[in-house]
Amino acid sequence: MTTPRPQGGLSIERMCTLASVSRAGYYRHLQASAPRQEETYVRDAIQRIALANRFSYGYRRITWQLRREGLVVNHKRVLRLMGEDNLLCLRKGRSCRSRPRLVIAGRWCRTWPAALS
């Protein structure tokens, strides 16, 4: 892992000893900041797509749109980020189908034998 030398000419080892921080902790912190920057970029892209389509796109269509734009993103990650930002669209309920009843109450003895034969 190559990192640019910090300004001022001090080495990372010297800066860590002056700040009483281990070098492993410094590098761990350095690596942890990169995913956060990527996540904010993905969040911005998700918000841009969701607001442009007035919340009619779900997480699957937004994932597809992000992949078309060149971002490699997992659908579960998009779902999590959209849930955290309250960008999930409302689900449409199923329409109820009313079907005619086959057996009329009170006259089952007339219709039952006909159904068996």
Q: Residue 24 falls within a domain, yes or no?
A: yes
Q: Residue 113 falls within a domain, yes or no?
A: no
The pLDDT assigned to 1 comes to: 46
Give phi and psi for 100, each to the nearest 5: -70, 140
Q: Residue 55 falls within a domain, yes or no?
A: yes
The pTM assigned to this predicted structure is 0.54
The pLDDT assigned to 70 comes to: 94
Q: Show the tokens assigned to 17.
A: 């000893």
Count: domains in the chain: 1
Q: Show the tokens assigned to 93.
A: 């309920």
CA dist., res. 82 & res. 46, Å (int): 8
Q: Residue 90 falls within a domain, yes or no?
A: no
pLDDT (tens, 9 = 90+) of the chain, 117 residues, equals 455 555 678 888 988 999 999 999 988 888 877 677 788 999 999 999 998 988 788 999 999 999 999 999 999 999 999 999 988 877 777 777 777 666 556 655 665 555 565
C-alpha distances (whole Å) from 101 to each of 19, 31, 94, 104, 106 are: 80, 65, 21, 7, 13
